[in-house]
Amino acid sequence: MTQPLHTRPVRVLDRGEKVQLTDPKGRMHTFVLAPGEHFHTNKGLISHDDIIGRTEGIIVSNSGGVEFQVFRPRYEDFVLSMPRGAAVVYPKDSGLIVTLGDIFPGAVVVEAGVGSGALSMALLRAVGPNGSVHSFELREEFATIAAGNIADFFDGEPENWSVTVGDLSDILPQTFAADSVDRVVLDMLTPWNTLDAVSEALTPGGIVIAYVATVPQLSRFVEALRASGKFAEPESMEAMVRGWHADGLAVRPDHRMIAHTGFLIMARRMAAGVAPLEKKRRPQGATAAAEDVAAWTEPEVTEAAIGTRTAHGKKLRRVVREAGKRLRTDDAATSAAGASATDAAAGATESDGPAAADSTGHTTTETTGPKEDR
């Protein structure tokens, strides 16, 4: 019998890892594994020890006899269950940004508006270890939340990621030389205000991608790109995802879908001194009135004006504490286990008897792990 060409050991679920349990009704629960702990459901308890050391794709039962499937959370699952201070870029949009924005391995990517870190994770995966992602964020609390979530997702803060608190327009020229950035992703209220700094940093052929929520924002950014004379004709789009119900012969669209979340605008940087080709357009019947243009372009764009929801006050402080909590908890548990083992070994040496310390370094107190339902 021929040996397979490619083999590798199966990854088992270990302490400190996030797992996702799905019940027979499709409800999902995400929590962090810790020896001796229990996850509480309304139908009974699940021991973490029944999962640790086993592979994904298993079935476990709680104390009430209800069965659950066990898997590691996917990127989408992680993003939708992680602590959030600002609205996240949904996976359907981050997928388009990575693919249509041509985020390639080894790329130097600048991101403005890190939010809760969801898009940064997708960008870091795409650029790989030889690329880099440099994020800029106006609010320090959001930068802290993003750093915690990214460290949680990658089991430590990636060496090729950095976040700077401040205005991209002011800091980008001080951080990157001209023509040294491959891609710029703008997730912000007024991306048109950054075009001077962005066009200077982008290499010829580089791509700027903006993610905006409303039609006026889309229009203003597209017109600003054209007026700059430094970018090829921009492309604008949105993505809508509709699932399907498939059960035997009952096959139909789901009643609910992920519809509008945001618009994507992409444009490529022209070489220095080269004007872009002007797109031929059909003549318009009439020129827009000055008051109509003013109503479209002059109002200040604010989070409240476009309906953006962000965490504030007590909720924001709680999210800051929760982001990255998994790694901090696991590090503390590891340190405690190491200290317990050292003390136990010292005691055994002094008494020439068996050590009485708990080998896991954990108490058996039952606690409820973080529960995220979708």
Based on the fold, state whether residues 193 and 222 are members of the same structural domain: yes
Separation CA 268–CA 205 (nearest Å): 5
Q: How many CA atoms lie within 13 A of 11 on its CB side?
A: 8
- Same domain flag for 97 and 210: yes
Percentage, residues of the chain above pLDDT 90: 63
The tokens of 211 are what? Answer: 């993610």
Cβ distance 208 to 200 under 8 Å? no
CA distance 371 to 62: 15
> Residue 245 is encoded by which pair of tokens?
């119900």
Distance CA 90, CA 150 (A): 16
pLDDT score for 176: 96
The mean pLDDT of 233-254, rounded to a whole number, is 94
Predicted confidence at residue 343, as pLDDT, reads 54
pLDDT of 195: 96
Examine the domain organization and report whether 113 and 143 are in the same domain: yes
Q: Are residues 62 and 89 in the same domain?
A: no
The answer to whether residue 55 is domain-embedded is yes
CATH number, residue 187: 3.40.50.150
Residue 82 pLDDT = 87
Same domain? 206 vs 185: yes
Whether the Cβ atoms of residue 36 and residue 362 lie closer than 8 Å to each other: yes
Per residue in 67-85, pLDDT tens? 999 999 999 999 988 888 8
Residue 88 contacts residue 118 (beta carbons within 8 Å):
yes
| Any domain includes 133 | yes
**If you average pLDDT over residues 33-62, what whole number do you get?**
93
Would 236 be classed as within a structural domain?
yes
- Alpha-carbon gap, residue 227 to 372, rounded angstroms: 46
> Which structural domain, as residue segments, surrounds residue 128?
78-245+252-273+291-320
Q: Could you give the count of Cα atoms lying within 13 Å of 338 in the half-sphere of its Cβ?
A: 6
Query: What pLDDT is recorded for position 84?
Result: 84
Residue type, 150: I
Let me know if residue 60 belongs to a domain. yes
Q: What is the dihedral of CA 140, 146, 148, 153, to 10 degrees?
A: -170
- Spatial neighbors of 121 by CB under 8 A, at least 6 apart, are 75, 78, 79, 149, 150, 153, 154
Helix, strand or coil, per DSSP, at residue 271: coil
DSSP letter at 312 equals -
User: 142: Cβ–Cβ under 8 A, 6 or more apart, which residues?
Assistant: 85, 86, 114, 115, 116
What does the alpha-carbon distance between residue 86 and residue 270 come to, in Å, rounded to a whole number?
A: 33
CATH number at residue 60: 3.10.330.20
Assess whether 230 and 102 both reside in one domain: yes
Residues 60 and 129 in one domain: no
Q: Same domain, yes or no, for 54 and 146?
A: no
Query: Residue 107 falls within a domain, yes or no?
Result: yes
pLDDT at 217: 94
Whether 166 shows a pLDDT value over 50: the answer reads yes
Q: Is 196 among the domain residues?
A: yes
Instruction: Determine, yes or no, domain membership for 353.
Output: no
DSSP string, 121-139: HHHHHHH-TTSEEEEEES-
* Alpha-helical segments (H) within 59-180: 75-81, 91-100, 118-127, 140-153, 168-175
Say yes or no: 150 and 257 in one domain.
yes
Q: Are residues 43 and 96 in the same domain?
A: no
Total tally of structural domains belonging to the chain: 2
Q: Does 158 lie in the same domain as 46?
A: no
Residues in the chain: 374
Question: Which 3 state secondary structure label does DSSP give 112?
Answer: strand
Q: pLDDT (tens digit, 9 = 90+) per residue, 122-157? A: 999 999 999 999 999 999 999 999 999 999 999 889
Alpha-carbon gap, residue 324 to 326, rounded angstroms: 5
Query: pLDDT, tens digit, for every residue of 302-341?
Result: 666 666 666 667 667 777 777 776 666 666 555 555 555 4
> What is the Cα–Cα distance from 249 to 237, expressed in whole angstroms?
34
> Which pLDDT band, with edges at 50, 70 and 90, does 295 fall under?
low
Residue with tokens 């702990």, as numbered in its chain = 37
